[in-house]
Amino acid sequence: MTVNNKKNIEKLNVLLADYQIYYQNLRGFHWNIQGKHFFQLHAKFEELYLDSAQKVDTIAERILTIEGKPLHSFEDYISTATIKAKKDVHDGEGAVSGVIDDLKNIIELEREIKEMAAESGDDATEDLMTGFIDEQEKTLWMMKAWLK
């Protein structure tokens, strides 16, 4: 493992932890949403957590590909993540605001990883982050539009 890979692996593990917390936040929003937007948001949160689950797997496999070890315990996720668990959110505005906050943090981290990967010549990780950012910027735009 090169020194550059080590730094990329460390940041990818932070992203992995963030995605695990984001995933669980989305599950909580999906389960607990109430109100007039229940059907719309219940389905949207399921779509988002299923996508997050796929990203978790992709990130872990990328870490393994560049000779790292992905975090794999909730204890590690909680201590490593930069986003926080959201509890007892039942209203649409609160849940969508939570998604927006989480995505802003995740996108910022993905941009940092993308830059690190480019500097270290890790084209595959750079491409992975580019794809994630593209998808999440669109989701972020849609969530912000929903709040207006």
For the chain, what are the domain ranges? 3-147
Span 3-147: which CATH code? 1.20.1260.10
The candidate with the shortest Cα–Cα distance to 54, out of 134, 130, 132, 126, is 132
Q: Cβ atoms within 10 A of the Cβ of 145, count?
A: 8
Which amino acid appears at position 9 of this protein? I
Model confidence, pTM: 0.95
DSSP string, 66-125: TT-----SHHHHHHH-SS----S--SHHHHHHHHHHHHHHHHHHHHHHHHHHHHHT-HHH
Q: Percentage of residues in the chain with pLDDT exceeding 70? A: 97
Which amino acid appears at position 26 of this protein? L
pLDDT at res. 2:
61
Written in H, E and C, the secondary structure of 126-138 is: HHHHHHHHHHHHH
Contact at 8 Å (CB) between 120 and 4?
yes
Mean pLDDT of the chain: 96
Instruction: Assign 23 to helix, strand or coil.
Output: helix
How far apart CA 4 and CA 18 sit, in angstroms, is: 21
Per-residue confidence at 5, pLDDT binned at 50, 70, 90?
Answer: confident
Per residue in 31-41, pLDDT tens?
A: 999 999 999 99
CA distances from 1 to 13, 52, 103, 114, 119 (A): 15, 28, 30, 19, 16
How far apart CA 52 and CA 134 sit, in angstroms, is: 14
pLDDT of 1 above 70: no
